[in-house]
Amino acid sequence: MKILLVEDNQTIAKQLVEFLSAQQWQLDYAHTGKLALTLATSNIYDLVLLDLNLPDIDGLEVCQQIKAQSEKIPAILMLTARDSFDDKAAGFGFGADDYLTKPFDLRELALRCQALTRRQQLHQENTISLAKNNSHLLLKITEKSAFRDDNELKLTTVGFTILNLLMQHHPQPISRSLLIHELWGDSPPESDALKSHIYSLRQALDKPFEKALLSTVMNVGYKLSF
């Protein structure tokens, strides 16, 4: 488990760092909202432990921006002394996945971390989600449906498979040869069918939107650009 801890109180932060590190979890630490956003948008985390009372940016806003801008959206557990129902409702409204009020038992924190990451893993088995720079791409595997910024995309069966492969490989490109093998195995069509399917995917994925996400990587293949 890779965790980002966001806490400005040095005493609490030290205690949490020692405890979480003892669980053999990877840990990064931020003492400000600005640093938290920098780390969350340049790294991939399973979980963010987020204090709301930060010195520069309110934790609610940090939560909302992490959910909107992170390449792979992490679960967020808010840690705060704000314990009223309205405070909790605001936290969930801004995107929190769980809420733990201070003071708390470190053993309960560990259990909640484990539960959140299990839930996240189960959720991601059926969905793939990418988000950055105000663009959000969601693939629902079982339903065979895809959404960009909450707009459902009209994809062919092959187009859905290509998008699935692109999202799985993001941020790395996927080669033409691998795409062809994944689509048709050892019996690819004689014509350049992949080019036609990529064109159709671009029409659905990019044409209705201001920013194009599907990029051609010269002499390699294709990738999603966020």
Read off the pLDDT of residues 16-30 as tens digits, 9 standing for 90 and up: 999 999 998 999 999
pLDDT-above-70 percentage for the chain: 97
DSSP assignment of 113-132: HHHHHHHHHHHHHHEEEEEE
Q: CATH 3.40.50.2300 region(s) of the chain?
A: 2-127
User: What top-level class would CATH report for the domain 133-224?
Assistant: mainly alpha
pLDDT digits (tens, 9 = 90+) for 51-94: 999 999 999 999 999 988 876 788 999 998 888 889 889 999 99
Confidence band of 169 (pLDDT split at 50, 70, 90): confident
pLDDT digits (tens, 9 = 90+) for 102-145: 999 999 999 999 988 877 766 656 788 888 777 889 999 888 99
The Cα–Cα gap between 51 and 206 comes to 37
Taking the whole predicted model, whether its pTM rises above 0.75 is answered as no
Look at residue 122 in the predicted model and tell me its pLDDT.
62
Look at residue 71 in the predicted model and tell me its pLDDT.
67
Which CATH code, of 3.40.50.2300, 3.30.70.20, 3.10.25.10, 3.40.50.970, is assigned to 2-127?
3.40.50.2300
Look at residue 129 in the predicted model and tell me its pLDDT.
86
Look at residue 121 in the predicted model and tell me its pLDDT.
67
The Cα–Cα gap between 186 and 12 comes to 57
DSSP character for 165?
A: H
Q: CATH 1.10.10.10 region(s) of the chain?
A: 133-224
